[in-house]
Amino acid sequence: MTKNKQLLLILVTAFIFFSSVCKAGIHSEVVHYQIDGKPFQGYYSYDDSIIGKRPGILVVHEWWGHNAYAEKRADQLAKLGYAAFALDMYGAGKVADHPKDAQQYMEAALSDMKVADMRFNEAKRWLQNQPTVDAGKIAAIGYCFGGGIVLHMARTGADLAAVVSFHGSLASKDPSPAPGSVKAKILVLNGADDPFVTADQIKALKEEMHDAKADFEFINYPGVKHSFTNPEADDFAKRFDMPLAYNTEADKDSWLQMDKLFKRAFKP
């Protein structure tokens, strides 16, 4: 082989290699799906440089609805090596920019928990059917309203490896789970100065999880308010006079605690 041909071969090989590297990375897509004839819009994200199946994580949005924040968290989970689906609990187009609308959407979603369960479970099935996902390794995280949803699913014995609630609602109308019925490992991350969560609710949750013999951890961040993981919280607080505040340290630590739980839950 001549030197020119050798050089050409090296250049072609390098081009193919760098092209594949550039194409590899986080793949994300908007997903349009239907439940009971109604349109919903989700967001799917995974690292396409990873070969084979990996655990899937469901992301349940805040009371504002399925917005860019939920999608950002899905992308962050993809960077950790998971396949993440930010689902929609309200329906396509129902994203609030005012608390009154958010409250209305949330109340409608919670008015019939059988419907709420169906929306969560249909999203779970969609995720399990993806070729990049290990269908036997599914977890869920939720924020605010979504935190309450994932706790509800854990309480009712959903087949999930783990659930993580970030500044989620703790109050529940669910029957207390029977001992051994909670399958998911549970992590609750709460702001100690969150006025939406009472000391009685925290006590009741801890007692409930203890009696159910659940794998449960509760972390209370001192001096931290509601919505502490969302950088937009301060703006919402100012615009709508709400007791919200972003907290950098609690945001970072809560994400690390979530990652630790998932590594434990998905350990081979």
**Residue 126: pLDDT over 60:** yes
Q: Is the pLDDT of residue 10 over 90?
A: no
Straight-line distance from the first to the last Cα atom of the chain, in angstroms, rounded to the nearest whole number:
49
* Residue 152 contacts residue 135 (beta carbons within 8 Å): no
pTM: 0.90
Over residues 174-224, the pLDDT tens digits come to: 999 999 999 999 999 999 999 999 999 999 999 999 999 999 999 999 999
Q: Where are the domains of the chain?
A: 26-265
Q: Could you say which of 3.90.550.10, 3.40.50.920, 3.40.50.1820, 3.30.499.10 is the CATH number of the domain covering 26-265?
A: 3.40.50.1820
Q: What's the mean pLDDT in 6-34? A: 60
Give the span between the Cα atoms of 41 and 209, in whole angstroms. 33
Question: Reduced to 3 states, what is the DSSP secondary structure of residue 202?
Answer: helix
Give the range among 1-10, 64-73, 185-194, 255-264 with minimum mean pLDDT. 1-10
Residue 268 pLDDT level (bands cut at 50, 70, 90): confident
DSSP per-residue letters across 218-248:
EEEETT--BTTT-TTHHHHHHHHT-SB---H
